[in-house]
C-alpha cells in the first residue's frame, strides 16, 4: 500500500482525529491504543450510500474522509484508512478478506476486509466491524481470547481458512492469503448498490463507547450502556442532524432518507435529550 501522502503532518492529524496526539514505537502496546481509540472516535457508518456520495477505495481518499471530513465508513473504508496509518507508523500490515456470518451462513467472498499486523506476533486487527474486540487478537492462539468486547476464538476450517467465533457464535471466516484494496472494489460496489445488501436498506451510524455503543439507524437512536438498552424515535430532521452531531461528531447539511423500517423495538426508558 502506497502511503507516501501520509507525511508527518498527516499522520499527526490522523492521530489527533482519534484522540492520540502522541505516537511511539510501532509495538503492540501502541497498536492496542490505536485499535481501541479508533473504534471509539471513528463511526461505523454507511451514510455515503444514502447521501449519493462516491466511495473510492484509494488510501488517500479514505484517510481524507476520516481525518478531514470527520466521517467514518464501513469495513473497506475504515480498515483501508487504518492500514494506511499503521503502515506510515512503521507497522507491517497485510490486508485479508473475510466472509461475515449471518442468518444464511457465511456471506460471499470479500464481503469484509480485516487486517493482519505483525509485531512480535501476528495479530488480527479490525476497526471496521460493528461487533469486534476492543483490542487486536492473536492469530496464533486457538484458545478463548477474553476482551471487553466479548470472548473470541479462532478455529481452523476444513479448507484452510480461520473461523472467528464471538461469544461462542460464528462471526466471520478469514482467508490467510494477502489481498490489495483493488481486490475489494467489486464487493464494495455490490455492498453499496444491491438491494440485497444490508447497507442499502437504511442509513446507519454506530460508535463504540467506553461502556457500550450508540447507534442511529434511520431516525431511531439506540444507546446501550451499563443502564441497559434504550431506544428513541427522533421526531424530525433537525433532531436527526443533532444526533449525528452530538453522538458521532458528524456534520451533515441534510439527513439521508430513513430507508426501510425494521420491526420496532420497545424502549424501556427514554434517552437523554439531544442537543440541537
Catalytic residue among 35, 112, 163, 171: 112
Residue in this structure with the C-alpha cell 488517500, named with its chain if needed: 60
Contact 223, 271 (CB under 8 A): yes
Catalytic residue among 35, 38, 50, 75: 75
Sign of the CA dihedral 77, 28, 16, 276?
A: positive
Specify which residues 124 forms β-bridges with.
116, 137
Known catalytic residue at 126: yes
Output the DSSP codes for 88-109.
Answer: HHT-EEEEEEEEEEETTEE--T
Catalytic residue among 126, 161, 163, 219: 126
- Comparing CA positions, the residue from 181, 256, 252, 261 lying closest to residue 220 is 261
Cell of 271: 434517552
Known catalytic residue at 75: yes
Cell of 89: 507508523
Contact 153, 145 (CB under 8 A): yes
What positions carry a catalytic annotation?
75, 112, 126
Amino acid at each position: 500500500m502506497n502511503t507516501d501522502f501520509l507525511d508527518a503532518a498527516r499522520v499527526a492529524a490522523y492521530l489527533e482525529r482519534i484522540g492520540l496526539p502522541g505516537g511511539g514505537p510501532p509495538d503492540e502496546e501502541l497498536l492496542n491504543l490505536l485499535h481501541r481509540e479508533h473504534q471509539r472516535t471513528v463511526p461505523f457508518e454507511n451514510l455515503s450510500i444514502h447521501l449519493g456520495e462516491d466511495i473510492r477505495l484509494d488510501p488517500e481518499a479514505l484517510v481524507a474522509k476520516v481525518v478531514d471530513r470527520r466521517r467514518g465508513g464501513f469495513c473497506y473504508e475504515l480498515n483501508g484508512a487504518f492500514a494506511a496509518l499503521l503502515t506510515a507508523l512503521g507497522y507491517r500490515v497485510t490486508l485479508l478478506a473475510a466472509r461475515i456470518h449471518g442468518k444464511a451462513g457465511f456471506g460471499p467472498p470479500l464481503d469484509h476486509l480485516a487486517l493482519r499486523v505483525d509485531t512480535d506476533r501476528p495479530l488480527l486487527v479490525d476497526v471496521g466491524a460493528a461487533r469486534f474486540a476492543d483490542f487486536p487478537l492473536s492469530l496464533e492462539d486457538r484458545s478463548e481470547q477474553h476482551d471487553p468486547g466479548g470472548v473470541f476464538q479462532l478455529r481452523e476450517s476444513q479448507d484452510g481458512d480461520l473461523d472467528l467465533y464471538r461469544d461462542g457464535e460464528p462471526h466471520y471466516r478469514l482467508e490467510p492469503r494477502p489481498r490489495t484494496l483493488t481486490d475489494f472494489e467489486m464487493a464494495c460496489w455490490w455492498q453499496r448498490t444491491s438491494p440485497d445488501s444490508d447497507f442499502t436498506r437504511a442509513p446507519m451510524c454506530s460508535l463504540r463507547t467506553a461502556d457500550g455503543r450508540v447507534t442511529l439507524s434511520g431516525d431511531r437512536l439506540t444507546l446501550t450502556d451499563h443502564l441497559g438498552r434504550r431506544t428513541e424515535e427522533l421526531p424530525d430532521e433537525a433532531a436527526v442532524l443533532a444526533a449525528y452531531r452530538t453522538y458521532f461528531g458528524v456534520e451533515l447539511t441534510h439527513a439521508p432518507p430513513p430507508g426501510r423500517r425494521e420491526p420496532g423495538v420497545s424502549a424501556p426508558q427514554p434517552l437523554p435529550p439531544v442537543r440541537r
